[in-house]
Amino acid sequence: MTEYNPPLSDMSFLLNKVFNVSALWQGIPALSETVDIETAEAILEEAGKLASGMIAPLNRSGDEEGAQWNDGVVTTPAGFKEAYNTFAEGGWSGLCGDPAYGGMGMPKMLGVLFDEMMYAANSSFALYPALSSGACLALNAHGSDELKEKYLPALYEGRWAASMCLTEPHSGTDLGLIRTKAIPQGDGSYQITGTKIFITGGDQDLNENIIHLVLAKLPDAAPGARGISLFLVPKIIVEHGQLTDTNHVTCGSIEHKMGIKASATCVMNFDQSKGYLVGEVGKGLACMFTMMNYERLSIGIQGIGCGEMAYQGASEYAKDRLQSRGVGALKDLSKPADPIIVHGDVRRMLLTVRANNEASRAFALYIAKQLDITKFSDDKDAVTKASSLVALLTPVAKAFFTDLGLESTVLAQQVFGGHGYIREWGMEQLVRDVRIAQIYEGTNGIQALDLIGRKVALNQGKDFGLFVTEVREFTSEFALSAQKDNGRLANMISQLNESIDQLEQLTQVVLSRASDGNELNGNAVDYLNAFGYTAFAYMWCMMSLAAEKEQQANDNPYFENKLVVAEFFFARILPRSNSHAAAVKAGVSSIMALPNEMF
């Protein structure tokens, strides 16, 4: 099984050469006083050591042992508790947390790279602190000062953890159907009763307390989503900073899953448990979406991490495994056969995985940049634009990263041939572990509906227009730059222009049919994919311009390799967007024609 090597060189290239974070952070006073590039790279280096040295070695053993449930008690696999203690002692739970409550206050651009390393090393382990980070964000945004002071410091310390309790046995995406009840107690608290399912980290033995964020309805609540409120329900009651009595929060069972077996996915029962309102009555769904949107990006990054780990294993194997003769200059007659890396189809698979991984990493950083501007900048216009881009691009990131994450792990598994199906090599676990990411936090079909319905059609493409304008400004700047006569780069920019033209035309088609719900529903996934490949073309152009500039100055093979992978993307992957565009233009008549009873 391949050891995990954090891609620190690529992360440094993106931070320094593509996004120029030194200038970005210096231009935002709240960040200039907190972080510089030297600090950032030191943090990432230490995170890489943690991921590769302590978290990754537990990945296969954790999968083999799995989380266990016995008489209501959940235990994590051997080594998890010790690794988590090290994780917490290092302050990683509060990496991007509010310094007012003990967080480190680091920018999200570091957070997404840290998350990628954790997911690549061990997705099951990474999910436990990921839920805590999202809950902290929601509590900090919507909780009372009393709740924040009472719970955030211990959450940032990693002494306590958190979970997100939405889904019920009869209610998945349609949360308006939830039955969990919240009864006012007259002292500012509420009595919470109900059952939630699919709760990641709902119970475990890593933390001394677990803080549940629970959606529930008051007795006189309005019907549907308007009647939902959000409550903080601790596993153990906290009084004056001390843990006191049990709060009648129990785990009824854990799920037996396809993958992420070391992550406890729990059925949680709340039996007249004491809870505290977060935000306003009836505004629970809006408050919870602060956490949900955090988790959507986080789960998208799970796709990147698993894809990166799969690529490392497959490329190492392909350079070592001898089989058949290559053709042309790549063959080596000194050996009885050539390594399979010389064969065209193997190279196609590896380059597909690598090109999508590297574009995904760049796009995750691009979205994190918008999140940092939204959170830290005092430029109101910049904040308004960044907030709109975050809303537009979050569903793209969650769905596109995770779809490609599965594709990447399957392709990497295929490189191994029969050995990819054998557990000892680690590839089949990555396929199983990443599969849930397409389902988590709203299935990818739901993400696509969010994009095409709420983020594009509902505001007549206004936010989409911001993205198009930015891309066009980028390509226009290239036309005026010293690099404009570089044929290699000019070809990429030309294809980006064609792709953004096509996506803009496609959006007009979507808007013209928006009154037909079937058109939106049936075309959502294809529209999101066309959007994703266009966004990746933008990322690859930014990376290529930076790499070409560095290559001319340094003559470093890294930068030439980056350009070669970019050319592969434009030649072999970007054309996929054409088929998705054609599908949307074809309409949904063929989808809706078959009677229900014929399925």
Active site residues: 441
User: Can you tell me the distance from the alpha carbon of 364 to that of 358, in angstroms, rounded to the nearest whole number?
Assistant: 10
Place of tokens 């198009």: 468
The secondary structure of residue 574, as a DSSP letter, is T
Q: Which of 199, 200, 211 is nearest to 167 (CA)?
A: 199
User: Can you tell me the distance from the alpha carbon of 461 to that of 413, in angstroms, rounded to the nearest whole number?
Assistant: 39
Point out which residues pair with 184 in neighbouring strands. 190
Cα end-to-end span (Å), the chain = 43
CA distances from 344 to 173, 325, 347 (A): 43, 11, 5
The secondary structure of residue 17, as a DSSP letter, is I
Helix (H) or strand (E) holding 195: strand 189-200
User: Can you tell me the distance from the alpha carbon of 84 to that of 206, in angstroms, rounded to the nearest whole number?
Assistant: 7
Which structure tokens are listed for 85?
């203690």
Which structure tokens are listed for 282?
């009836």
Which structure tokens are listed for 330?
């790549």
What phi-psi label fits residue 198: left (phi over 0), alpha (psi between -120 and 50 degrees) or beta?
A: left
Question: 3-state SS string over 229-266?
Answer: EEEEEECEEEECCEEEEECCEEEEEECCCCCCCCCCEE
Residues 6 or more apart whose Cβ sits within 8 Å of residue 55: 83, 87, 118, 121, 122, 125, 126
User: Can you tell me the distance from the alpha carbon of 166 to that of 151, in angstroms, rounded to the nearest whole number?
Assistant: 20
